[in-house]
Structures are given as structure tokens and as C-alpha cells.
Amino acid sequence: MAAPPLLVVALFVGIPIVSGVLYTLGHFGGLNSTVAVLGLHQHRADHWWGTFGAYHEVLTNRAFQQSLRTTVEVALLSVALVFTLALSVALYARLAANRTARAMTALAVTPLFLPAVIGSYAILEFYAGDGFVRTVAHTFGWDSAPRLSYTIWAVVIGQVWTNLPFAVLMMTSGLAAVPDALIEAARDSGARLHHIVRHILLPMASGPAVIVASFTTISVLGSFTVPYLTGPSAPNMLGVQLTNTFQAYNRPQQSLVMAVVIFALASMIGLVYIRSNVRQARHSAAAR
């Protein structure tokens, strides 16, 4: 029963990945023959296993290093903001359970129904030089309000916009699964609110928290639309740098090297996620 989906994944995901990695190592035959004819500044294999010439060129390139640093910084900041906002909304919805909490939850998941393109253009207009923020600041006599459009801060805001709905849904569902009896028992024992949050709600929501952190990090690392539309020309995230290298400079081998770097970063996050699931499964089995 598992064979059909595995074959589909191997055909449409596994084979292209293997072919792309071989191309980065200088193997220009087979599926890579066409792109090898059209690409510029390529490094052909000089050993049976290939060559690291393309990797050396990319990894020592200053523009790539700046884009890599920007990507990691944006990912860390975006994940921290998304997790903080999602946890705050989920905790308030779990403990308050009133109209305001429901309204906040609904507002937080609204970007789920809006395309990233529309959200990106809304961010550009909202934080532009003649946008809403600077207009309101000018009305109150503050003429030095920052213009965030086409900056890394706009990229961070866009990443939070696109990833917050999933995080809120996961954290809200995780905290909703905590039995009311545990919370009531803690209150009857004299526990204060911060004790309930720290010792009951947060430990029991560790599974959704790991999912939120892992999936948000992977989503930010591989993003293209938001940084392309809202970010600066340079330095920008690796998704934009990769596309420019392929389209503008016709260097597919170097762009695939950048793709391999993104894949490696995402794989490390995936390993953390898998390890956390395995640990939770063992803990559940031991508890039984």
C-alpha cells in the first residue's frame, strides 16, 4: 500500500534531487545534458566522483555569504516572532475563552485565506514612504518614521504574515487538548496563572511547539515570493539570490549549489523534528 506514493515521490522528487546534485558535482550527461549546453561558467567533473569547483566558487562568493547570513537571520527572527505571537494568542484563547479571544484567533488566521502576493503588496503600501504608518506619524508631527518597504524588516513582517496562521492553529489545538481538570486542580491547589502556564500548558504543548518551529523555519528558508516582492535588491534571501543567478546570469550550476545549501539547512531542521517525534513516541510508550 505504501509503494505507489513512494514511487511518486521517488519519480518526481528523488530523481530530480539526485540529478541536480550530480550536476553540481560536474556530471553533465543524462538528464543534465541540455542545461549543461546552455549554462555559463560551469565546472566539469575531473574525477569519477566529480568536482567541488562550483561549491568553492559559490561558498567563497561574498554576495552568497551575505545572502546566506541574511537568510539565517530572517529565519531566526521570523520563527521567534511567529512562535511568540502564536503562543500568546493560543494561551489567551485557552485561558480566557471569550469573544475577544475568539476574535483574536480569527484575526490571526485571516492571512491563511489571502495569497502571499496580495499580502506582500499590502505590506509595501502600508510601510511605504507615503503609506499609512508614515502618514499617521506625520499627522502627529513625527517626520522621522522609518520607511520599511524594500527592506529586510519588510521581509520579516511578510514572513510573520504568511506563517502565523498555521502556527496559531497548531498551538491553539495543542493547548485545547489540555484537560480542564488539570487546570482546575492546579487552581484549587493555589497555583497562580504563571505556574499553570509554565508547569501544565507549556509542557503539554511541546509537540505542537516543535512542529511550529520546524515548519516555520523550513518555510522561511525556502521562501521566494515574500522576499522577492518586499525585500531589497541586495543582500536578500537565498531564494531570490538563487533565482537571479539562474535567470539573470544563466549560471544553473551555481544556482543548484545554492539550492543544495538550502536543502541541507532544511534537512537539519527536519532531523530535529524527527528526533523530537521519536522521543515523544518513546515517552508515550513508556508511560503506557
Percent share of the chain, pLDDT over 90: 53
The CA distance from 104 to 168, in Å, is 10
Instruction: Please confirm whether the linkage preceding 203 is cis (ω < 30° from 0).
Output: no
Q: What is the pLDDT of residue 186?
A: 86
CATH architecture of structural domain 57-287: Orthogonal Bundle (1.10)
pTM of structure: 0.89
Taking the CA atoms of residue 105, residue 106, residue 112 and residue 116 in that order, the dihedral angle to the nearest 10 degrees is -90
173-225 pLDDT tens trace: 989 888 888 888 888 888 888 888 888 888 888 888 999 999 999 999 999 99
At 177 the three-state DSSP class reads: coil
* 212 contacts 82 by C-beta, under 8 angstroms: yes
Q: What is the pLDDT of residue 62?
A: 94
Q: Could you tell me how many residues make up the chain?
A: 288
Query: Is the pLDDT at 286 greater than 70, yes or no?
Result: no
CA distance 257 to 262: 9
Contacts of 111 (CB under 8 A, 6+ apart): 119, 161, 162, 164, 165
Mean pLDDT in residue range 14-40: 92
Would you kindly state where each structural domain of the chain is located, as residue ranges?
A: 16-51, 57-287
